[in-house]
């Protein structure tokens, strides 16, 4: 399949990052947000990120300008109709994603692959809202998308080999390293990561160690670039809770049962870096 134009649903942290990487690699991008405010913030994020790449010598000013010109912002989902491939990058809410896939199914051509950037939710459930479930799969990018080399591809039991191979080729054309998971809650990365983060929260909640010592122990003892509580703040404490709840609801595995402290922090608006407060204090 000859992919020239890629649609992105969502221009938040993930959608803007995916749009940037696609545009820098020669693809035309149509990125949709629900309103002008969110859309303008996303485009400004792309402009700032690409300018930083120029300042660091990783991108020329001309290449930056060409990439920006390849991106078409819109607030109308219907304007993704000409796309050859679509990646949904909305918030982690299964009902919302299912609605988006149902609408995309009616908007896009029958041959167009529909991918989700979900980090944990059921690909099969999203695919069930379409008339082409064999053309649906997960394309889970990692934040920040222009920097992180990993792409986690997720195949449901209905995803065709052609859909997988086409999507893999797209990911590799972006310079990403591919891992492949079946459609199981949390896939590979979050299925391993979330219990680790929840245990770190329990350790702190139960008074076993301080926040700083838990993170320092993991950084220096396990050679991780971030400690688990630092990473919670970076990813979003509300996102960690949402993933944990979704996986627990489907599997009933006690490793994914959220500690009370996590739920209370989310209720209090302590969502990590994006809110300015989490396990650490942050400037917004």
Is 190 a known active-site residue? yes
String of DSSP letters for the chain: ----EEEEE--SHHHHHHHHHHHHTT-EEEEE-SSHHHHHHHHHHHHHHHHHHHHTTSS-HHHHHHHHHTEEEES-GGGGTT-SEEEE---S-HHHHHHHHHHHHHHS-TT-EEEE--SSS-HHHHHTTSS-GGGEEEEEE-SSTTT--EEEEEE-TT--HHHHHHHHHHHHHTTPEEEEEES-TTTTHHHHHHHHHHHHHHHHHTTSS-HHHHHHHHHHHS--SS-HHHHHHHH-HHHHHHHHHHHHHHH--GGGPPPHHHHHHHHTT--BTTTTBSSSB---
Which position among 140, 156, 230, 271 bears the catalytic label?
A: 140
Cβ neighbour number for residue 50 with a 10 Å cutoff: 23
d(CA 143, CA 155): 21
Task: Give me the long-range contacts of 262-271 (CB less than 8 A, separation at least 24).
Answer: 262/198, 262/201, 262/237, 265/237, 266/237, 266/238, 266/241, 270/237, 271/236, 271/237, 271/238
Cβ neighbour number for residue 38 with a 10 Å cutoff: 15
Which position among 119, 120, 122, 156 bears the catalytic label?
A: 119
Is 270 a known active-site residue? no
Is 152 a known active-site residue? yes
Which position among 33, 88, 92, 152 bears the catalytic label?
A: 152
Which position among 116, 156, 190, 275 bears the catalytic label?
A: 190
Is 49 a known active-site residue? no
Active site residues: 119, 140, 152, 190
């Amino acid at each position: 399949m000859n992919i020239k134009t890629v649609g992105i649903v969502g221009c938040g942290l993930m959608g803007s990052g995916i749009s940037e990487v696609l545009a820098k690699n020669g693809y035309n991008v149509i990125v949709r947000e629900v309103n002008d405010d969110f859309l303008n913030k996303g485009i400004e994020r792309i402009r700032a990120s690409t300018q930083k790449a120029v300042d660091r010598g990783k991108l020329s000013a001309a290449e930056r300008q060409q990439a920006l010109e390849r991106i078409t912002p819109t607030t109308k989902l219907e304007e993704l109709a000409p796309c050859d491939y679509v990646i949904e990058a909305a918030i982690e809410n299964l009902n919302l994603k299912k609605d988006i896939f149902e609408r995309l199914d009616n908007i896009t051509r029958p041959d167009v692959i529909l991918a989700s950037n979900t980090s944990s939710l059921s690909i099969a459930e999203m695919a069930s809202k379409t008339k082409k479930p064999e053309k649906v799969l997960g394309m889970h990018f990692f934040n920040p998308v222009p920097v992180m080399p990993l792409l986690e591809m997720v195949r449901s039991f209905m995803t065709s080999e052609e859909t997988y191979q086409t999507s893999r080729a797209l990911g590799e054309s972006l310079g990403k390293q591919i891992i492949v998971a079946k459609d199981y809650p949390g896939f590979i990365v979050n299925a391993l990561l979330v219990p680790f983060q929840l245990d770190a929260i329990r350790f702190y909640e139960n008074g076993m160690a301080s926040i700083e010592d838990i993170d320092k122990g993991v950084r220096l003892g396990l050679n991780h670039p971030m400690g688990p509580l630092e990473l919670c703040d970076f990813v979003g404490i509300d996102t960690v809770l949402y993933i944990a709840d979704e996986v627990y609801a489907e599997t009933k595995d006690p490793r994914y049962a959220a500690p009370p402290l996590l739920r209370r922090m989310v209720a209090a608006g302590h969502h990590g870096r994006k809110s300015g407060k989490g396990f650490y204090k942050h400037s917004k």
